[in-house]
Structure 1
Amino acid sequence: MFHCIPLWRCNRHVETIDKRHCTLNYVPDEIYRYARSLEELMLDANQLRDLPKPLFQLLKLRKLTVSDNEIARLPSEIGNLTELVELDLSRNDIIELPENISNCKSLQVADFSGNPLLRLPESFAQLQHLTTLSINDISLQTLPENIGSLSYLVSLELRENVLTFLPESLSQLHKLEELDIGNNELYKLPQSIGCLISLKNLWLDGNHLSEIPAELCNIKSLLCLDLSENKLEFLPEELGGLVSLTDLLVSQNSLEYIPESIGKLKNLSILKADLNKLTLLPETIGNCESLTELVLTENQIQTLPASIGKLKRLSNLNCDRNNLTLLPKQIGGCSSLNVFTVRDNYLKKIPPELSQATELHVLDVSGNRLPYLPMSLTTLHLKALWLSENQSKPLLTFQTDEDPDSGEKVLTCVVLPQQPSDSGYDNLARFGALESLVNGMADEAWDGKAMNRISSIHFLDEGEDDDDDPGTLLRRATPHPGELKTMKKAAENLRNDLNAAKGLDSNKNEVNNAADGVTTSV
């Protein structure tokens, strides 16, 4: 009696084999059965130590990936795979590539990242169809002088190597769109880098560059330029030539100014210039009409230009840890502003016009010298307002007060006027307990009179001295929560005793006023 053999057992035409994450110590022999048809072989994340010679008789292979193994040597037989299009050898222990890898004439995508390679063979430049080359996180010291022969190269990744210079022939890569040479040992860029006319993304971060050649600004197609973590003291005046630029990252340098020509970057969306030595922004920054994110943290900026109000699309503005003493009233023109932080500056006033930025949801003004906040801020739908690093809640309960100098009504609370803090975050629990206690002790009588009670905050009169910050609002020392409970109980007992003694409704207001007077002293 004959049994039917399933068709899948008869089928020898297999194009793809996926043996990733299979804890393999060697390449399974069954793979070689499909030598006539196999096009894709994936052996990533195993424990392979070598690639056997029979593997390179799979002449139909178009994709071979063996990343995350323990392979120490790439056999010269790799040159047999003339139809190979994609080769991934990343994160192995390969110390050199054989010269005859150049026989892989069809190779388009190659990844050698995470191997202890020191150099590429000169013959490598003969891979005329190569479009993507990744050699990240190794110890590559030099590039072949003839690398410019890779005329079809679109993406070149060389991050985290020890390259000290770029060969002049690199400028011949006219189709190159992405060049990543971040975290190397570059001290200078060749002027010929401006010949990369198709370049869209250029990462130069984490090097030792002290200047950028003006020729770089000739690349009209450039969208992203990352120059962060270098030693730049200035940017070329020709910066405005990068007319397509959307992202400019210059964080952690020694820049003292940004050139006026930045105003020509109409497409600029993100500008990160934190951790520099900037003292001001050019007025032309207001012409960057597409700007959505501006990060200026940890500089020496004393004031923002009035033109900043022209940035209608700006949603995130960070000016923490600068030397700001005032904000321009035009800041309210940033109609899309969502997050505005000016922590740790020297501000003594917030302009009322800030309330015109109706999309503002997060405002951080902690660590300044503010005696009060403008009443206009009550029109905003804030989700978080930070006045102190010790806050336990994003929003505090405010009361109204009056500035005797101007007569305007202002907002005050327990952390206003602001005073320099010596204790850091040690008071976090105390402030949390204080706010919880004050909110929890309110009753109907308290709610009705809270806004009319005598404020413990007062302005300094002429002749009074304040060593820390003359001319600002003062508040009495905040009692410990335990003292507050005692005061609260005493106030309640006093009110109850007075009501019981007099028992007349007509005297109710007087009794409440006496009790409130005691409570207000808290």
Structure 2
Amino acid sequence: MQLVELDLSRNDIPEIPESISFCRALQVADFSGNPLTRLPESFPELQNLTCLSVNDISLQALPENIGNLYNLASLELRENLLTYLPESLAQLQRLEELDLGNNELYHLPETIGALFNLKDLWLDGNQLAEIPQEVGNLKNLLCLDVSENKLECLPEEISGLTSLTDLLVSQNLLQVLPDGIGKLRRLSILKVDQNKLIQLTDSIGDCESLTELVLTENQLQSLPKSIGKLKKLSNLNADRNKLTSLPKEVGGCCSLNVFSIRDNRLSRIPSEISQATELHVLDVAGNRLTYLPLSLTTLKLKALWLSDNQSQPLLTFQTDTDPETGEKILTCVLLPQMPSEPVCQDNLPRCGALESLVNEMSDETWNERAVNRVSAIRFLEDEKDEEDNEMRTLLRRATPHPGELKNMKKTVENLRNDMNAAKGLDSNKNEVNNAIDRVTTSV
């Protein structure tokens, strides 16, 4: 009865007896990782309990009178089968941590807004289609995680979370963020990746404490000019969107350290990027860039990625002149970025002697598609006539597999024997053998 802490986690206990209610001094209890499906009805009588962990126990429902645990400060219910929350949960006025991640919640009660002392709220991995506007009453909330749900919008009242530092809304169905997000002046981390964002609100520039902004895998075609007001931003990731341009104001992000805009539709990078003097990593691979601004040479870059198969983080650049604008630019072997195009097989030169020999062989011995596989190396220079372009195209035919070469040699030898038997002429024998030997040697 004087027991203060009880840890029974990761066992095979199928049931907690009702007699646990006699442990009136119990403050910390951990029953996580057991094959439990319910908590005893007498459990809420443990009114000195401050920390309760029941993660991963196949719990389907909480006791309706869970609110009687009025001293509870931390409640962990992650990885269960909860489909709803009892109304009495709102009575846990001292609750600071509530973890409901990876359950089956379809609805969050409005009474969630009554947990005024809540600092951390995890709702990730549920089935939530909306967040009640009452969540804006949680003035002390520091971290809100609603990622991996089915949210199509966030309430405008989210602006009331004035203490919020971490907002995680990854893997939802959001098309826009509420303008009220600009009132979250303490927000440091915002993750909105894997949504359906078609635009980013201008008010994002008012999140003056933002250090990390993740916008990966959305439908953004542009970034707002106000993004340049984020003076503390150190990590900006907008990979795999539909960006066609960047605002020159992005150079105002004076603390930017990592800027990743891989797999977009950018044709140029604004020269003002050089104003972000702390920039060390720039990833622009998978775009449509024809050149880079000369101003990049003023940055102390440690990595500049232009291609997926780039072996070194930095490349050697040459100074050139843009023929259209006349401005000085940077270029290298990987610029301009061009999408790979399939080569028309009909226009490829045939490989005479080997081709005719292969055509007489069975599909089992040699795959014709493998023979026709060709790598083309093209040099992009000033436009000239097609004939000149074809002359400056190097074609490399596929190298046969050693096993295929062995089969080819065997076929050639059989062909030699058949031809010798068919001809039966000593006068032509040496000539035929010499011709086939030349083919065999080349193979």
Q: 2:203 is aligned with what amino acid?
A: T
User: Counterparts of 1:360 and 1:478 in 2: how far apart (Å)?
Assistant: 39
| 2:105 is the counterpart of 1:165 | no
The one-letter amino acid paired with 1:340 is F
Aligned to 1:142: 61
**CA offsets 1:44-89 (integer angstroms, 9 cap, x no match):** xxxxxxxxxxxxxxxxxxxxxxxxxxxxxxxxxxxxxx10000000
Name the CA distance, whole Å, in 1 between partners of 2:58 and 2:327.
66
- Correspondence 1:88 to 2:4: no
- Whole-angstrom distance in 2 between the partners of 1:402 and 1:308: 30
Name the SS of the counterpart of 1:411 in structure 2. strand
Distance 1:477 1:187 in 2: 60
- Change in CA separation of 1:376 and 1:158 when aligned onto 2, cut-off 3 Å: same
Structure 2 distance, partners of 1:457, 1:265, is: 49
Q: Equivalent residue for 1:244?
A: 163
TM-superposed CA distance for 1:458, in Å, is 4.1
Change (3 A) 1:460 1:350: farther
* Identity within the alignment, %: 71
Instruction: Give 1:380-399 correspondences, 5 Å limit.
Output: 380-399=299-318
Could you tell me which of 143, 146, 153 is aligned with 1:227? 146
Partner of 1:279: 198
CA change 1:477–1:416 in 2 (3 A) is: farther
1:356 aligns with 2:275: yes
In structure 2, the CA distance between the partners of 1:144 and 1:478, relative to structure 1 (3 Å rule), is farther
2:292 maps to: 373
Which ranges in structure 2 are unaligned for 5 or more consecutive residues?
343-378, 387-391, 397-443
Change in Cα spacing, 1:129 to 1:397, as seen in structure 2 (3 Å) is same
CA distance in 2, matches of 1:108, 1:305: 50
Q: d(CA) in 2 for partners of 1:206 and 1:263?
A: 26
Q: Which of 211, 216, 235 does residue 135 from structure 2 map onto?
A: 216
Residue 118 of structure 2 corresponds to which residue in structure 1?
Answer: 199
Q: Corresponding residue for 2:323?
A: 404
Instruction: Sort the Cα spacing of 1:421 and 1:315 in 2 relative to 1 into closer, same or farther, 3 A.
Output: farther
Aligned residue number for residue 326 of structure 1: 245
How many angstroms apart in 2 are the aligned matches of 1:327 and 1:135?
47
Where 2:90 maps in the other structure, the secondary structure is helix
TM-score, normalized by length of structure 1? 0.66
Instruction: Quote how far apart the aligned CAs of 1:401 are.
Output: 1.2
State the shift of 1:217 in Å: 1.2
- 1:113 corresponds in structure 2 to 32
TM-superposed CA distance for 1:131, in Å, is 0.2
Q: Distance in 2 between matches of 1:366 and 1:118?
A: 50
CA distance in 1 between counterparts of 2:198 and 2:248 reads 20
1:19-34 alignment to 2 at 5 Å?
Answer: none
- The farther-off stretch of 412-421 and 270-279 is 412-421
Normalising to structure 2: TM-score of the pair?
0.78
Match of 1:253 among 172, 183, 188: 172
The reply on whether 1:415 has 2:334 as its aligned counterpart is yes
Secondary structure of 1:355's counterpart equals: helix
1:303 Cα offset (Å): 0.3
What is the match of residue 47 of structure 2?
128
Mapped partners of 2:6, 2:31: distance in 1: 9
| Whole-Å separation in 2 of the counterparts to 1:278 and 1:166 | 30
Which AA in structure 1 matches 2:260? T
Inter-partner Cα distance in structure 2 for 1:203 and 1:233 = 18
Alpha-carbon distance in 2 for matches of 1:192, 1:420: 53
Q: How many residues align?
A: 355
Distance 1:410 1:166 in 2: 60
459 and 405 in structure 1: CA distance in 2 versus 1, 3 angstrom threshold: farther
Alpha-carbon deviation of 1:331?
A: 0.4
Following superposition, the deviation at residue 422 of structure 1 comes to: 6.9
Aligned-partner Cα distance in 2 for 1:332–1:459: 33
Equivalent position of 2:435 in the other structure: none
Displacement of 1:457 after TM fit?
5.5
Q: Which amino acid aligns with 2:40?
A: P
SS of the equivalent of 1:317 reads strand
Unpaired segments ≥5 residues, structure 1: 1-81, 424-455, 466-475, 481-522
Amino acid at match of 2:125: G
Q: 1:459 to 1:167 in 2, by over 3 A?
A: farther
Q: Which residue of 1 aligns with 2:74?
A: 155
Describe the shift of the 1:459–1:277 C-alpha distance in structure 2 as closer, same or farther (beyond 3 A): farther
The match for 2:93 among 174, 188, 203 is 174
Superposition map of 1:387-466 within 5 A: 387-421=306-340, 458=381
1:484-510 CA deviation, whole Å, 9 max, x = no partner?
A: xxxxxxxxxxxxxxxxxxxxxxxxxxx
User: SS at the partner of 2:135?
Assistant: helix
Q: Which secondary structure state, in structure 2, belongs to the residue aligned with residue 156 of structure 1?
A: strand
Per the alignment, in what secondary structure is the counterpart of residue 266 of structure 2?
coil
- Paired with 2:380 and 2:115, the residues of 1 have a C-alpha distance of 64
Bigger relative contact order, structure 1 or 2 (CA pairs below 8 A, ≥6 apart): 2
Query: Aligned equivalents of 1:322 and 1:213: distance in 2?
Result: 29
- SS for the counterpart of 2:42 is helix
Alignment match, 1:492: none
1:338 aligns with 2:257: yes
From 182, 187, 194, the equivalent of 2:106 is 187
Q: CA RMSD in A?
A: 1.6
Cα offset, 1:400, TM superposition: 1.3
Give the CA deviation at 1:460: 5.5
In 2 relative to 1, CA 478–295 (structure 1 residues): closer, same or farther, beyond 3 Å? farther
